[in-house]
Amino acid sequence: MGKQDIPFDFSGKTALVTGAASGIGRDTALAFARAGAQVVVSDIAVAAGADTVQQIIQAGGSAIFVRADVAVAADVEAMVAATVAHYGRLDFAFNNAGVELENQRLADSEEDLFDRMMAINVKGVWLCMKHEIQQMLRQGGGRIVNTASVAGLIGAPKHSIYAATKHAVVGLTKSAAAEYGKKGIRVNAVCPGVIRTPMLERALERESGWEEGLKALHPIGRIGEVGEVSAAVLWLCSEASSFVTGHSLAVDGAMTVV
């Protein structure tokens, strides 16, 4: 695959990406492949996940699809096992699967919503890290990047549950980095601002004039692109960031500094 826009060479390495059926996950899976990595694409959306794999293969890369619900321990364990069975090792893991904002005030939200968001956004990341780290310890090291959010760094009115889950991801990231730094495992997180994904595009079609308001949230004056997040993920997995671990990298156009 052409690497003209990817400054990293991950040839011979294996990358696992959850939530890779669309948006940031798909773009990061494609970016890993362009950098030469073998990619394990995982999601609960089978057809869309298979399409991500097909895009990689058609461009000359190597990829497989593994269906997994990250909130189910057996699925996550099987996902990591399938990665190692097919490619022999796990070098990079991007734990990106999650559910979106609830858009409700705290007192109006429901317990089942809380439980679902915690199960996917927090337990899911914890389960993925648990099994990925076990494999990385066996092979002598690896790199993990978790998807948090700007809502993991600041408060988020009407998104209190989502913000709580993303603060938890930041805490898991920091703790794991401290625990496994001497074992050759680096763990970081990306904290995107508003990013132009298919989900956002559908929302913008429904809400006339909403885009200008979202742009105004970012001092840089625009909404972010998925490629700007995937570039950050690859940098955190590369040797260019060899002294960076436990860090939550805001990819937010300065949204969190105002």
What pLDDT, in 10s, does the model give residues 56-73? 999 999 999 999 999 999
149 lies in which domain range?
Answer: 14-195+229-249
Confidence category of residue 102, pLDDT binned at 50, 70, 90: confident
Known catalytic residues are: 162
SS3 87: helix
Q: Which of 202, 204, 195, 190 is nearest to 226 (CA)?
A: 195
- Residue carrying structure tokens 């956002």: 200
Contact 45, 57 (CB under 8 A): no
Inside any domain, residue 176: yes
Q: What is the CATH number of the domain that holds 98?
A: 3.40.50.720
Q: What would the two tokens of residue 96 be? A: 């990106």
pLDDT over threshold 80, residue 38: yes
Distance between CA atoms of residues 175 and 55, nearest Å:
36
Average pLDDT, stretch 109-123? 96
Distance between CA atoms of residues 220 and 242, nearest Å:
28
pLDDT over threshold 60, residue 2: no
Q: Residue 238: CB partners within 8 Å, gap ≥ 6? A: 8, 10
SS3 68: coil
Say what the pLDDT of residue 3 is: 39
Angle at 20 between CA 17 and CA 24, to 5 degrees: 100
Inside any domain, residue 93: yes
Average pLDDT, stretch 135-142? 98
Average pLDDT, stretch 162-181? 98
Distance between CA atoms of residues 137 and 197, nearest Å:
34
- Residue 101 burial by Cβ neighbours in a 10 Å radius (0-12, 13-18, 19+): middle
Inside any domain, residue 30: yes
Inside any domain, residue 69: yes
Inside any domain, residue 55: yes
Inside any domain, residue 5: no
- Residue carrying structure tokens 């997180």: 189
pTM passes above 0.75: yes
Q: What would the two tokens of residue 100 be? A: 């979106």
Distance between CA atoms of residues 62 and 48, nearest Å:
17
Distance between CA atoms of residues 156 and 219, nearest Å:
18
Distance between CA atoms of residues 88 and 101, nearest Å:
37
The total number of structural domains in the chain stands at 1
Inside any domain, residue 207: no
In the predicted model, what is the mean pLDDT of the chain? 94
Inside any domain, residue 102: yes
Distance between CA atoms of residues 95 and 139, nearest Å:
19
Q: What would the two tokens of residue 61 be? A: 């890369």
